[in-house]
Amino acid sequence: MDRLSFTPTFQGTSYGIGDQIGLIWEQTREPLMVPLLKLMVVVCLTMSVMLFVERVYMGIVIALVKLFGRKPEQRYNWEPMKEDFELGNSAYPMVLVQIPMYNEKEVYQLSIGAACGLSWPSDRIIIQVLDDSTDPTIKDLVEMECQRWASKGINIKYEIRGNRHGYKAGALKEGMKHSYVKQCDYVAIFDADFQPEPDFLWRTIPFLVHNPEIGLVQARWKFVNSDECLMTRMQEMSLDYHFTVEQEVGSSTHAFFGFNGTAGVWRISALNEAGGWKDRTTVEDMDLAVRASLKGWKFVYVGDIKVKNELPSTFKAYRYQQHRWSCGPANLFKKMAIEIARNKKVNLWKKLYVIYSFFFVRKIVAHVVTFLFYCVVFPATVFFPEVEVPTWGAIYIPSTITLLNAVGTPRSLHLLVFWILFENVMSLHRTKATFIGLLEVGRVNEWVVTEKLGDALKMKSSTKTPKKPRIRIGERMHLLELGVGAYLFFCGCYDFTYGKNGFFIYLFFQSIAFFIAGFGCVGTFVPNS
């Protein structure tokens, strides 16, 4: 017997709206709704298997790399830079350090100070601050900070432009046009919240000096505020997997991975050969990496070199960041898939890796299946007992994928359930952004700089008398999350009443997670007033 049935009753020639809906449901349920839902289950299971195979493959590779693989310093020719008494400092390559920033009031001193503190012959390094700030007060502060370091003998350049065309890519491209850049061999890039250790260049530049085939050296991110709130702990778990597994596997097997946009050093000739910076997507870093790889350049990821940085700690900032990180790769995939397939400089296996593994599975399938399957299709099956999701697809595969994802952050294993629920919530925005990127509509090229708080909140709390902030409901409420939460809660109530599989336990927990996010009770809240 169906769990949900309607028996419309007719009194004369008139019947109510509920009876009409029941009649439509009965007429469309068997011939339309059930086959459609069965098809969606098959599609979602197929995507789940694709993601499962990808995760298992990377798990096996990273295990082999850790057990038998050699470190980057052993795989490539790496020797410390040696002093030449005859040539003096001219024996060292000229290095440009770029710091793009936009209204970075809370962190500009940290990044500029860290860059100026890099250990390298003073006449062989140029610090270039690319300030796109629109707030005149902040621009003055940044300029004065640059002048302060210049007065100490640091070769630092403060560069501005008349517009923000191309956003970060436009700023970096403009920065490369200055005449003094022509004397530089390599360029290190740090976002405004990144703080490299003084020996960063001594550890990265030798890879480029002694291996002419290497175009990029990428370091790992180290999060200074991962313990600030539960949301930053969740981000740490996701990003640790990215660095510990995805970047390491790409570097070890195909000498290719996506440039993270910061904490890396490029060979300028490789950057120029690839066509320089382009602003056609919101992931200019990944765009450059793919184009350079197609030219035959190799990349090396050095996980032992860590650069301190800040995770977005407000839900608003994190949503904007995830939109950019999901929309951009999908849009880039659409623009470059054919170009990658037709390229003749890289072998077939590398093409398949970039198109299928790097782009299709990780940047599209992973987002879509998480939301579509676990937040839409799977909950809908509670209304249709004839549509079954096999145990291996509902439990075993997602459990395995989750455990493999968690290997990057062992200290957070006890937060695994919270991470699953949070990732499902964020999959709503990632899926939406992925389709925006693929279809090139709406906010496809929207660039919102990720807000950095630095020590602002700590300083405010220690210097001001605590006051109850004025909170506007509109500041914290997110209708999409509330809508999905209501849908999951309704599915859970129905399954609790009529179901036999106990799906309501998951549905209630997941709906609560969406409600929490929908009411803005995630991350650090910074009121406007």
34, with CB counted inside 10 A (0-12, 13-18, 19+), is middle
In 254-395, alpha helices (H):
268-273, 284-294, 315-342, 348-352, 366-372, 378-380, 391
Distance CA 372, CA 378 (A): 8
Amino acid at 408: G
Least Cα distance to 169 among 357, 294, 332 occurs for 332
DSSP 129: E
H/E stretch holding 32? none
- Collapsed DSSP state (helix, strand, coil) of residue 265: strand
Provide the token pair at 32.
């339309």
Amino acid at 507: L
Q: Which residues are catalytic?
A: 132, 285
20, with CB counted inside 10 A (0-12, 13-18, 19+), is exposed
Residue 254, Cβ neighbours under 10 Å: how many? 21
Amino acid at 484: V
DSSP 118: -
Strands, E assignment, 48-102? 95-101
Least Cα distance to 217 among 184, 255, 246 occurs for 255
Beta bridge partners of 222: 308
Q: Tell me, rounded to whole angstroms, the distance of Cα 322 from its chain centroid.
A: 6
65, with CB counted inside 10 A (0-12, 13-18, 19+), is middle
Instruction: Kindly report the backbone phi and psi dihedral angles of residue 496, in degrees, each rounded to the nearest multiple of 5, phi listed first.
Output: -65, -35
Q: How far apart are the first and last CA of the chain?
A: 57
